[in-house]
Amino acid sequence: MDIFESFEFLDSHPFTGERILNKPIRVKLKDNEYVRHFFDGSEDYKQITNLTMGKEYLIYKVEGFGDVADAFITDDYGNEKEIMIDMLEEVKEEI
């Protein structure tokens, strides 16, 4: 299991607190109906701004809350953005 997968499947090894990554993980937003709701103006979803579907981002920090985690990335305007790790998928090419 690689480092990204270890943050995706926290049921078997939950953690709480921040983890600064030695090597950033390259990711992009998952392109599925659930994630698209956060970007398409759907009323029942808190809209996410300053991130682009299909664009690659680097996770540099992860904060765990037991069996769920948030990833910290830099958004399209250079600001820190916290997003549920379940909304991301790893891009497997090397950095």
pLDDT tens, residue order, the chain (95 aa):
455 665 655 566 667 889 888 999 999 999 999 999 999 999 999 999 999 999 999 999 999 887 788 999 999 999 999 999 889 999 986 55
Query: Mapped to the 3 state alphabet, what secondary structure does the chain carry?
Result: CCHHHHHHCCCCCCEEEEEEEEEEEEEEECCCHHHHHCCCCCCCCCCCCCCCCCCEEEEEEEEEEECCEEEEEECCCCCEEEEEHHHEEECCCCC
The CATH number for 3-90, chosen from 2.30.30, 3.40.50, 1.25.40, 1.10.3470, is 2.30.30
Specify the pTM: 0.82
Domain ranges of the chain: 3-90
